[in-house]
Amino acid sequence: MSETPETNETPTADTTEFAPEQPQNDLEATLLAGQQDPEKAGEVIATFLNSEIFFLSSEEVTEESQDVAPLVLQNPDGEPRIAVFSDLRRVPEQYLEAAPYGVKVTGAAVVQNLNGAGLVLNAGHQIGFEIPAEGVEAIRRDFRPVDADENGATGA
């Protein structure tokens, strides 16, 4: 990924006042609602694109970093998935050994810079999802930023 990150944060296993089964932010609340109502799939994707999320990196990422190598997982079929997290407290401990730096970006930045791989949000948690590479391409094609349409108008 060539995205310039906003920050680096060190994920920790801090569980102070963290209830993993409860949504921790708007993205997670929208995702839980979408899991109950498939008609909200578009809202879930739009919220993901506009939310701040984290990917993990084995090296500290700075504004001078030319290339960023996020943590890549494989699904059971052996397909690559970039691991992203809606909250750093959702990062499994074993991932921190390989990639101890959390880099804050928007979901849209991940989708725009991801080629040939899918993504998994909150791997191992109920509050998460997996999108194959073809799905990432479809999102890039079908979803526009909420800022403006082709004529510069905002909203729907």
HEC per residue, 85-96:
ECCHHHCCHHHH
Q: Report H helices in 17-114.
A: 26-36, 41-50, 93-98, 107-113
pLDDT in tens, 71-130: 999 999 999 999 999 999 999 999 999 999 999 999 999 999 999 999 999 998 999 999
pLDDT in tens, 73-85: 999 999 999 999 9
pTM: 0.82
